Amino acid sequence: MIDFSLTEQQKELQSLAREFAREEIIPVAAEFDRSEEYPEQVIAKAAQIGLLNVSVPEHAGGLGLGMLDECILGEELAYGCMGIYTILMASELGITPIVIGGTEAQQKQWLEPLVSGAKLASFALSEPGNGSDAAALKTKAVIDGDEIVLNGSKMWITNGGIAEFAVVFATVDASLRTKGSVAVIVPRETKGFSHNKIHHKMGQRASYTAELVFEDARVPISYMLGGVGDGFKIAMKTLDKTRIPVAAGSNGITKRALEESVKYARAREAFGKPISEFQLIQAKIAQMYMGLETARLATYRAAWLVDNGLPHVSEAALAKAYASEVAFNAANEAIQVHGGFGYVGEYPVEKLLRDAKLNMIFESTNEIQRLVMARGLLKD
């Protein structure tokens, strides 16, 4: 049975997030983009009204929202600012490996405090020397009695260093590739764990991105999710889910690009009439609309598969790659509609382009998404 309607609860969630984006995010988005500061107050308010850490299961004190709920939320928040939404999205990314690979006791231990204390989680897979080849981890994990000792560094980690903990992927023996991988929860205050904030990003500047450094950082072995050899699969299963909210965020960017273009095209005159009356402008607007509607369908379908416990690997990759490319193109065309005004910060469209670019890179590049889809298509 096909049903495109949202439940009453989902509609409420959508209006809550929409109102939050209009009242709390849009008025401050340009300033945080300029200052590159972490929007602490905005995140605190989001937590207060229940928009943070929404995927924490009910048995661990959370709302246990589904993937479609997350996507509805994500589109609205990213409409306001993709960078600010990324902070919330990355916290769900840090939560997911614990939901996938953690015992119920571990879920309670690590996820309950996130909800009650309005704290963030983070996910640390990429390293300075490798991102796409997730099996080539260099961060070393040594099991020493009932402790794990970590040495190495992680790169491009959203919320890294400001989150309560990072789920760190490391290896007990690099020559074993995936078979030597481990996933370990490292609390922020762990001795030997430090971070360096990364500055001057092209876009999504409100989100906090860091390099994490581990120098003989010791944690109890009970902080490991699963066993030795499970880390890679936990990371892959996580990304197979969390790529979908990236698609949802991309749809928020596309929707904003479309609406800003419509508003500007109606108001701006050239050759004695509003530019909205020119067919070449209309074609751009129609193209953005086509992109938005098809990308949203792909996103919702992938989310529906997750929520119904069905295979979703290729569909998640498709949604993420497609929606982020639609968003980038829509933002690019929105700048074109705005002409010179689109190229300066006075209007929000140049920021949309800078923000959209990252969605084509993080949570696996769109090249990796294509590889994932092709693998699915080519296997026996």
- Which sequence positions are flagged as catalytic? 363
Three-state DSSP class for residue 180: helix
Asked if 112 and 156 touch (Cβ cutoff 8 Å), the reply is no
Q: How far is the CB of 173 from ligand COS (least distance, A)?
A: 15
Q: Does 239 bind ligand COS (CB under 6 A)?
A: yes
Name which of residues 218 to 237 contact ligand COS (CB under 6 A): 232-233, 236-237
Q: Which residue is nearest to ligand COS (CB)?
A: 364
Pick between residue 125 and residue 281 the one whose CB is nearest to ligand COS: 125
Query: Given the rule CB under 6 A, which of 38-46, 123-131, 258-266, 334-342 is the region that contacts ligand COS?
Result: 123-131
Name which of residues 283 to 322 contact ligand COS (CB under 6 A): 313
Three-state DSSP class for residue 193: strand
Out of 53, 96, 126, 207, name the contact with ligand COS by CB under 6 A. 126
Query: Given the rule CB under 6 A, which of 43-51, 131-139, 201-209, 341-349 is the region that contacts ligand COS?
Result: 131-139
Q: Does 371 bind ligand COS (CB under 6 A)?
A: yes
Residue 194 is encoded by which pair of tokens?
């430090």
Out of 51, 120, 125, 352, name the contact with ligand COS by CB under 6 A. 125
Helices (H), the chain: 8-20, 26-35, 40-48, 67-80, 82-101, 104-117, 231-267, 279-307, 313-338, 349-359, 366-378
Pick between residue 59 and residue 370 the one whose CB is nearest to ligand COS: 370
Query: CA–CA separation, 211 vs 295, rounded Å?
Result: 32
Q: Does 187 bind ligand COS (CB under 6 A)?
A: no
Question: Comparing C-alpha atoms, which of 89, 162, 179 is closest to residue 119?
Answer: 162
Query: CA–CA separation, 150 vs 215, rounded Å?
Result: 7
Q: Does 61 bind ligand COS (CB under 6 A)?
A: no
Beta bridge partners of 213: 153, 194
Q: Does 368 bind ligand COS (CB under 6 A)?
A: yes
Out of 178, 332, 336, 366, name the contact with ligand COS by CB under 6 A. 178
The CA-based angle 4-10-16, given to 5 degrees, is 135
Q: Does 367 bind ligand COS (CB under 6 A)?
A: no
Give residue for tokens 């007990």: 172
Contacts 24+ apart (CB under 8 A), 341-347: 341/264, 345/30, 345/34, 347/260, 347/264
Q: Which residues contact 291 (CB under 8 A, 6 or more apart)?
A: 254, 326, 327, 329, 330
Q: Does 363 bind ligand COS (CB under 6 A)?
A: yes
Q: Does 360 bind ligand COS (CB under 6 A)?
A: no
Count of residues that interact with ligand COS, criterion CB under 6 A: 21
Q: Does 63 bind ligand COS (CB under 6 A)?
A: no
Q: How far is the CB of 260 from ligand COS (least distance, A)?
A: 29
56 burial (CB, 10 Å; 0-12 / 13-18 / 19+) is: buried
Q: How far is the CB of 109 from ligand COS (least distance, A)?
A: 24
Residues that bind ligand COS (CB under 6 A): 125-126, 131-135, 178, 232-233, 236-237, 239-240, 313, 362-364, 368, 371-372
